Amino acid sequence: MLSIVVYWVGWVIYTHYLHPLAKIPGPFWPSVSRTWLMYRMYKGDLEFHQRSMHHSFEYGPLVRIAPDEVHSSDPKAIPIIYRVQQPLEKTNFYLTFRPMIPGFSLDMFTDDSEKHHTAYRKIVGPVYTLTSMLKNEGALDKTANLFMERLGDFADRNESFDFGLWLEMFAFDNVGAVFFGKQFGFLEESTDYGGYINAVHTALPLNSFVAMAPFWIRPLLLNCGIVIPKIFKAVMAAAGIWETAVRETNMAQERSQDNTAKRNDILSQLLAIEQDKKSGLTIQGVHTEMWAAVTAGAESTAGALRAIFYYLMKHPETMAKLIRDVDTAFENGMLTHPVQYHQAMKLPYLNGVIREATRLFPPFGAPMPRYAPAKGLELSGYHVPAGTKVGMNASVVQYDKELFGEDAYAFRPDRWLESGDRYRAMDKAMLVFGAGTRTCIGKNLSNSEMYKLVPELLHRFSIEMAHDQPWKTRNATFVLQSNVICRFTRR
């Protein structure tokens, strides 16, 4: 026991006073243990405390958040940490999000090898371009039409409902339509199809908590978590998502042999690449792409949509202005039913609303850590030694007052109506879809869903919160929102 106490005291003295990172400011607890990060992720409020560190407690733009990790809030650090030339390697933070499933191939989010990621992205990247996504715009329109029907049913019954949940069901069915060529059935059956949403919402908090822990203890924490019945059920549901990916891939292979007609869904495009043996894409890689689409493709978009509509409902004057713009666009033919992506992109105020909502509430609410290179990094006047974990959290960077103004904490879409250098500077600081070589490969699908749905819905319905309570949020890497209970009226 004495030896443990001596070791711990020695560790505290070393990490807080003598460690190469000791000169970088920050609270005491994070400087001696990663349990601060673990606790904040357990509580689900990491982004609030990180913002306080940089802004309220005035530790400055570079803060130590663990014995071996620092966080930067300075937008000028983005091209340094997430540089394109000689990019920094991802840390072991991402490894926890790999599923413990036989046959799983590396996906682009958890792949910690920059060399492998670059080669792999060249193979599958063309499938995720905006041009490729818009080949499936008709499938998105069908999902949106069914969504409008379901919302209309609530409006006709004058019934309040969990709009946040339905937005996620909408996003999941869009993933099914675009990736698999058919909706999963969330909207058709008005239910959490396959328990996918519950699986993601249950597994994410555990994975996020474990990802913040020291690497050596993660297997133990994961195994302990699985003993909990609720988490075990979520793990089984996640395994069910993998089985769905494999089953649908096999069915698509059989379909391609029987049908010579060209299909535009992502699965069919990936299978076409896989059939070229020189491509390097394996069938296991296709399975993994489909699994990643289901587990991550819907959550980020649903979070962004919830933020957009929530901020609009909390700022009725902004919503009224946007509705006027949308109505005018329909009247003069700039918008048609169903709204097309290229039409919606031409509405400046719609763009401002979407950019502002995702600035204040980016779906991914954790730092995106990288390892400092062999020569280290120079950040905000400090030398960060080689091997140090260094990252940036969109939920902090996008609140920078020097760049976004003294009202950076306020919802003000008009800031995005500015042109020239200021708009470009703000745009470069937006980390909603990541930065550098590791930008989210699904951003084109997500943007398509947001820009198409928002004007379509606002033109058809008047929407309001069914209560005067704020929403509830929980940072589980993806920030989960709840209590978005709404009432719709047909316009």
The binding site consists of 440
DSSP 81-131: HT-SSSPPPB-GGGGGGS---TTPPP-TTT---HHHHHHHHHHHGGGGSHH
Which residues are part of a known binding site for heme?
A: 440
Residues 410 and 306: their CA atoms lie apart, in Å, by 17
Half-sphere exposure of 88 (CA within 13 A, CB side): 27
404 and 411 Cβ atoms separated by less than 8 Å: no
Residue 69 per-residue DSSP state? E
Parallel, antiparallel, or unpaired: how do β-strands 478-482 and 377-379 relate? Answer: unpaired
Segment holding 287, helix H or strand E: helix 283-314
Task: Report the sign of the C-alpha dihedral through residues 427, 431, 436, 441, in that order.
Answer: negative
Residues 454 and 58: their CA atoms lie apart, in Å, by 38
Residues 85 and 35: their CA atoms lie apart, in Å, by 34
Structure tokens at 110: 């958890």
Rg of the chain taking only CA atoms, in angstroms: 23
Residues 39 and 37: their CA atoms lie apart, in Å, by 5
358 and 308 Cβ atoms separated by less than 8 Å: yes
Helix (H, G, I), strand (E, B) or coil at 105: coil
Residues 393 and 27: their CA atoms lie apart, in Å, by 18
Residues 71 and 74: their CA atoms lie apart, in Å, by 9
Angle at 196 between CA 472 and CA 451, to 5 degrees: 65
Residues 366 and 36: their CA atoms lie apart, in Å, by 14
483 and 469 Cβ atoms separated by less than 8 Å: yes
What are the residues whose beta carbons fall under 8 Å from the beta carbon of 481, sequence distance 6 or more?
164, 303, 306, 307, 310, 471, 472, 473
